[in-house]
């Protein structure tokens, strides 16, 4: 076999032991909170039938789905003419039946429909798995990355929305973030605004333009609105809405007077007020003053959401949104199960990782590591060190004996590289006395301990 130079597939990453510790820290923190709120874990397969995925993410999305080549003589069913003309796109369906999942939402919808007779609604699930997109890789954007989704289907109670705000708050705080915002909007408010302006059919254009306020300012937004079919008169109506400011209460009050003639708009406001009321009753009203922020420029895949919309940003690091989600009234309709409402949010695990790294918020040391390395001075001593090794492990202590009696320096480097906090130095003297030398690798201090005291100390 000719040796080949090993490389990673573009846009993918290995995770080293240190990185896995950090990733597990994030996942475990999230899982613990999800479970506390009554969410259960599920997993779906890495690949789905291509027909399950295509047509769900728009034309651009379809192109970014990784397709898996059929096994065996995959060209046998390919139409001659398409082959001759090298029609790559048209040929796909005849040579590929499977594709890697693009997100966790569509597979979850499929799951709910296929398991509908064994599920009791409301069904609260979380899912932490990788997804794959054939995107152009760049800094911070990978072709394989992890999504952490929490959703509940089959409950229209806005208590769910309130609890998602608490979940975000609790999770990000537990991970060490101190300054972040949970932005809240409602699709119905956006519909109401489009209605009031008299251009309900332009709701998408309107939202896309308004969404850019941060980047291009009011003047830019107005320019774009004009290009997209709004009139100067419309702009006058929209101006106070776009420039909405003040506390959440002030914003809602202002919106109420603007949307006074739009039933759907008022409904959207009422939904946000209900969520706020739940937060108050849960004793978390203070979140409304600092963390939760009504933001009517927030859109997030407008075609998809039907009620509340969330987005989370950290203010401590320059970084896009680290989470988002919302309510969708017809998650499972694409698979023939109508009128099942759902609401869910997502955590961007890879981005959160980068944020914690930049802020140095990962816990400094960790229970995942070997606690003590027994130095191997002499093979003859194994009659003493091996039973000790067994005893340490039997007491639940992660322990290793360096597997050969090589130079001390090499063994110490191993302990260093692995960030093992203690090493045990056992020579003839220690065997005779039963007092073992334990070295603290950080402080450099060394102490003599009997086996019982040693186990007590390392436990």
Q: Is 397 in the site for its own copies (CB under 8 A)?
A: yes
Q: Which is nearer to its own copies, 213 or 451 (CB)?
A: 451
Minimum distance, C-beta of residue 385 to its own copies, in the bound complex (Å):
9
Task: Convert residues 159-198 into a mask of x (bound to its own copies by CB under 8 A) and - (unbound).
Answer: xx--------------------------------------
| Span 335-374, contacts to its own copies by CB under 8 A | 335-336, 368-370, 373
- How far apart, in Å, are the Cα atoms of 272 and each of 28, 234, 285, 362? 31, 25, 13, 34
Distance CA 316, CA 341 (A): 35
180-186/292-294 β-pairing: parallel
| Span 309-338, contacts to its own copies by CB under 8 A | 333-336
Read off the DSSP letter of residue 5. Answer: -
Distance CA 123, CA 160 (A): 12
Q: Is 282 in the site for its own copies (CB under 8 A)?
A: yes
Q: Which is nearer to its own copies, 278 or 305 (CB)?
A: 278
Tokens of 192: 């109401």
Q: Which is nearer to its own copies, 118 or 445 (CB)?
A: 118
Q: Is 128 in the site for its own copies (CB under 8 A)?
A: no
Tokens of 252: 């809602």
Minimum distance, C-beta of residue 457 to its own copies, in the bound complex (Å):
17
Distance CA 241, CA 24 (A): 43
Choices 207-215, 253-261, 288-296, 380-388; region in contact with its own copies by CB under 8 A:
380-388
Q: Which is nearer to its own copies, 121 or 216 (CB)?
A: 121
Q: Is 138 in the site for its own copies (CB under 8 A)?
A: no
Q: Is 260 in the site for its own copies (CB under 8 A)?
A: no
Choices 45-53, 231-239, 294-302, 347-355; region in contact with its own copies by CB under 8 A:
45-53
Q: Is 456 in the site for its own copies (CB under 8 A)?
A: no
Within 10 A of 258 (CB to CB), how many other CB atoms are there?
19
Minimum distance, C-beta of residue 270 to its own copies, in the bound complex (Å):
15
Q: Is 212 in the site for its own copies (CB under 8 A)?
A: no
Render the burial of 360-379: b for 16+ CB within 10 Å, e for the rest: ebbeeeeeeebbbbbbbbee
The residues, ordered by sequence, that sit 6+ positions from 55 with a Cβ below 8 Å of its Cβ are: 62
Q: Is 59 in the site for its own copies (CB under 8 A)?
A: no
Q: Is 157 in the site for its own copies (CB under 8 A)?
A: yes
Distance CA 132, CA 46 (A): 9
**Residue of 184, 389, 424, 426 that binds its own copies (CB under 8 A):** 389
| Span 82-111, contacts to its own copies by CB under 8 A | 83-84, 86-88, 91-92, 95-98, 100, 109-111
**Residue of 174, 201, 303, 390 that binds its own copies (CB under 8 A):** 390
- How far apart, in Å, are the Cα atoms of 247 and each of 292, 299, 332, 361? 10, 20, 37, 31
- Are residues 237 and 244 in contact, defined by beta-carbon separation less than 8 angstroms? no
**Residue of 59, 118, 214, 219 that binds its own copies (CB under 8 A):** 118
Choices 206-214, 222-230, 292-300, 411-419; region in contact with its own copies by CB under 8 A:
411-419
- 204, containing H or E segment: helix 203-210
- Are residues 224 and 259 in contact, defined by beta-carbon separation less than 8 angstroms? no
Task: Convert residues 418-437 into a mask of x (bound to its own copies by CB under 8 A) and - (unbound).
Answer: x-------------------
Q: Is 452 in the site for its own copies (CB under 8 A)?
A: no
| Span 66-85, contacts to its own copies by CB under 8 A | 66-69, 71-76, 78, 83-84
User: 326: which strand partners?
Assistant: 309, 344
Determine whether 210 is exposed, middle or buried from the number of CB atoms within 10 Å of its CB (0-12, 13-18, 19+): buried
Total residues contacting its own copies by CB under 8 A comes to 115
123-132/40-41 β-pairing: parallel
The three-state secondary structure class of 275 is helix
């Amino acid at each position: 076999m000719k040796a080949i130079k090993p490389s990673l597939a573009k846009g993918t990453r290995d995770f080293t032991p240190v990185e896995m510790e950090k990733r597990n820290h994030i996942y475990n923190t999230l899982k613990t909170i999800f479970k506390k709120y009554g969410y259960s874990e599920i997993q779906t397969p890495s690949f789905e039938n291509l027909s399950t995925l295509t047509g769900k993410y728009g034309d651009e999305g379809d192109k970014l789905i990784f397709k898996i080549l059929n096994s065996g003589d995959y060209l046998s069913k390919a139409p001659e003419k398409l082959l001759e003309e090298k029609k790559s796109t048209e040929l796909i369906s005849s040579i590929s039946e499977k594709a890697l999942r693009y997100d966790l939402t569509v597979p979850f919808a499929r799951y709910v429909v296929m398991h509908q007779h064994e599920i009791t609604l409301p069904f609260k699930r979380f899912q932490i798995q990788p997804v794959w997109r054939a995107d152009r890789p760049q800094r911070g954007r990978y072709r394989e990355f992890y999504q952490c989704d929490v959703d509940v289907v089959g409950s229209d109670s806005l208590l769910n929305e309130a609890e998602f705000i608490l979940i975000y708050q609790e999770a990000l705080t537990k991970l060490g973030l101190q300054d972040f915002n949970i932005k809240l909007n409602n699709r119905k408010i956006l519909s109401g605004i489009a209605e009031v302006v008299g251009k309900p059919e332009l709701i998408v254009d309107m939202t896309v333009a308004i969404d850019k306020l941060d980047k291009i300012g009011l003047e830019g937004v107005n320019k774009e609105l004009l290009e997209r079919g709004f009139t100067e008169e419309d702009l006058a109506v929209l101006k106070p809405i776009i420039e909405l400011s003040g506390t959440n209460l002030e914003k809602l009050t202002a919106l109420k007077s603007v949307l006074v003639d739009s039933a759907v708009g008022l409904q959207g406001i009422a939904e946000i007020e209900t969520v706020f009321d739940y937060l108050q009753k849960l004793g978390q009203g203070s979140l409304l003053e600092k963390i939760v922020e009504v933001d009517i420029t927030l859109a997030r895949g407008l075609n998809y959401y039907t009620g509340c919309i969330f987005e989370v940003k950290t203010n401590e690091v320059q970084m896009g949104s680290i989470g988002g989600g919302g309510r969708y009234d017809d998650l499972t309709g694409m698979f023939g199960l109508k009128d099942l409402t759902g609401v869910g949010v997502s955590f961007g695990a890879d981005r959160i990782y980068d944020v914690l790294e930049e802020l140095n918020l990962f816990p400094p040391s960790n229970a995942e590591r070997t606690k003590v390395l027994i130095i191997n001075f002499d093979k003859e001593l194994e009659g003493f060190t091996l039973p000790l090794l067994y005893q340490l492990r039997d007491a639940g202590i992660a322990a290793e004996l360096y597997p050969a009696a090589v130079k001390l320096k090499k063994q110490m480097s191993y302990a260093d590289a692995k960030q093992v906090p203690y090493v045990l130095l056992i020579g003839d003297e220690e065997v005779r006395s039963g007092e073992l030398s334990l070295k603290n690798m950080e402080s450099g201090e060394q102490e003599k301990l009997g086996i019982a005291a040693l186990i007590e100390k390392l436990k």
